Structure 1
Amino acid sequence: MPISALLANTNAAATDGFSRMWHFLAGGGEVMILIVLCSIVSVTIIILKALQLRQHVLFPKRVIDDLNNIERYASRGDILPLQQRLERNPSVAAQLGLVAISGKYETREESTAACETAARGVMHRLEAGVPLLEVIVTVSPLLGLLGAVIGLVTVFSAFGGAETTAADTTQVARGIAEALHSTIAGLLVAIPTVIAHGYFTRRLDAIAVRSESLLRQAIHDFHRHFEVRPNSVVNTPATHK
């Protein structure tokens, strides 16, 4: 098939698809506008969270390897190079790891408490948008139901006027179409959104567990190999027994 013919067929299929979609949306009445807005918000949040919660973005391998090899820096007697590398890295692992090895806390308990506070702030930032998906899951089917009710009102109002039978039939068909279209649209928005919400919720739980494990190990290794002087952030290798 010539390329020109293939492009013509593709354009025709795309035009036909957009036309069908437009007729479907227009047939749902005014409520369809709110459902479309919900779908836009849902898709936007899903894309943003999918990009934000990627494993290699949150926990870069190089940062993890550095935090798992604090002993190597202890053998050199200087933790400052690792601290500087973490400061230049914007990942979650680097931000939390920097708190764990900052040297600002004399005991492991103080370091753990500081890391827990920092981790809660990070998780709160990562969770942004996910609760809104839950709202959309609840609201979009209700909007579909509202559209269905409005469509039924249109159907029943067709039997109470003085119009002709042909006009009544047209109004009944329009009301039924509006009820069905809005119901379908509400479900089409809610179903993928609830799947995405469940996935991101489990993903956030996994991130929290991994962050906790990483921080506990980093705090243990740091205080094992370095001693923290009171009122100072200068660290020296600890004396191993």
Structure 2
Amino acid sequence: MLELVKAGGWLMLPIIACSVIALAIIGERLWMLRMRRVVPRHLVAQVWTWIRDQQLDNVHIHSLRTGSPMGRVLAAGLVNRHHDRDVMLEAIQDTGRHAALELERYLNSLGTIAAITPLLGLLGTVIGMIKVFSVITTQGVGDPGVLAGGISEALITTAAGLTVAIPSLMFYRYFRGKVDMLVVRMEEESMKLVEVMQGEREADIEGGEAA
């Protein structure tokens, strides 16, 4: 591996740096975008149970706010539960936008890595071919070893750039789709709670679910 890095030239350093950053982002986002962390099951049912049993207080709202991104969105609405529907929705939407930005954290960086690493590889290809033609110009084609060095540098950097870019792009697209899905789920669950509290939707008292 070290020999390949040396053969690829100095452009291998930024490509390797991009690969390390991409791996860190992918690992962090896989952990942070877990469904049970962002949109815990039965959270709305739990909140409705508190409301039904008249147990909803500042302590519960604080625990809700700090528990998950969806809990933070629901808490924004519950803080304004004594106001009308529009005020609750505005608070939920404002907090929801911040929660969505949090879910998208580092994704632009991952997308940038997916875009620039092939270009770094292409730059390495160009530099390698320039070296080849420079050798041909000064020494002719009599030394195949020197020519092979420039060609190998061109091919190695191209392969390294694509090796980093392809999985980075795949995970970027995957995370984008997952964030969109999670945001939609948060919106749906928040609307359930608002509609039940405003009397626009029936609630299953036994199960605590909005029906």
> Is TM more than 0.5 here?
yes
Q: Is the 8 A contact 2:22 2:110 kept in 1?
A: yes
Match of 2:99 in 1: 122
User: Are 1:37 and 2:14 an aligned pair?
Assistant: no
Deviation at 1:153, TM superposition (A): 0.8
Match of 2:79 among 88, 94, 102: 102
Deviation at 1:82, TM superposition (A): 4.1
Give 1:229-240 correspondences, 5 Å limit.
none
Question: Counterpart amino acid of 1:52?
Answer: M
SS at match of 1:161: helix
Q: Are residues 75 and 208 of structure 1, via their aligned partners in 2, closer, same or farther at CA, if it must alter by over 3 Å?
A: closer
Cα RMSD of the aligned pairs, angstroms, is: 2.0
- Measured in 1, the distance between the counterparts of 2:25 and 2:54 equals 46
Q: Are residues 135 and 162 of structure 1, via their aligned partners in 2, closer, same or farther at CA, if it must alter by over 3 Å?
A: same
Q: Are residues 105 and 177 of structure 1, via their aligned partners in 2, closer, same or farther at CA, if it must alter by over 3 Å?
A: farther
User: Are 1:195 and 2:170 an aligned pair?
Assistant: yes
Match of 2:203 in 1: none
User: Are 1:24 and 2:4 an aligned pair?
Assistant: yes
- Measured in 2, the distance between the counterparts of 1:64 and 1:84 equals 15
Q: Write the deviation string for residues 191-220 of structure 1: whole angstroms up to 9, x where unpaired.
A: 000100000000000011001001111112
Corresponding residue pairs, total: 199
Give 1:58-207 correspondences, 5 Å limit.
58-61=38-41, 63-67=43-47, 70=48, 72-80=49-57, 82-87=60-65, 89-103=66-80, 106-162=83-139, 165=142, 168-207=143-182
SS at match of 2:9: coil
Match of 1:220 in 2: 195
Q: Write the deviation string for residues 175-203 of structure 1: whole angstroms up to 9, x where unpaired.
A: 00000000000100010001000000000
- Measured in 2, the distance between the counterparts of 1:75 and 1:57 equals 25
Deviation at 1:23, TM superposition (A): 1.5
Q: Are residues 164 and 153 of structure 1, via their aligned partners in 2, closer, same or farther at CA, if it must alter by over 3 Å?
A: closer
Deviation at 1:160, TM superposition (A): 1.8
Q: Are residues 164 and 86 of structure 1, via their aligned partners in 2, closer, same or farther at CA, if it must alter by over 3 Å?
A: closer
Runs of 4+ in 1 over 4 A off after TM superposition: none
TM-score, with structure 2 as normaliser? 0.87
Deviation at 1:224, TM superposition (A): 3.0
- Measured in 1, the distance between the counterparts of 2:12 and 2:63 equals 51
- Measured in 2, the distance between the counterparts of 1:101 and 1:91 equals 15
Match of 1:56 among 29, 36, 49: 36
Deviation at 1:83, TM superposition (A): 2.6
Q: What is the identity percentage for the equivalent residue pairs of Structure 1 and Structure 2?
A: 28
Structure 2: give runs of 5+ residues left out of the alignment: 201-211
- Measured in 2, the distance between the counterparts of 1:115 and 1:83 equals 14
- Measured in 2, the distance between the counterparts of 1:169 and 1:205 equals 54
- Measured in 2, the distance between the counterparts of 1:119 and 1:178 equals 48
TM-score, with structure 1 as normaliser? 0.76
- Measured in 2, the distance between the counterparts of 1:104 and 1:212 equals 17
Question: Counterpart amino acid of 1:195?
Answer: M
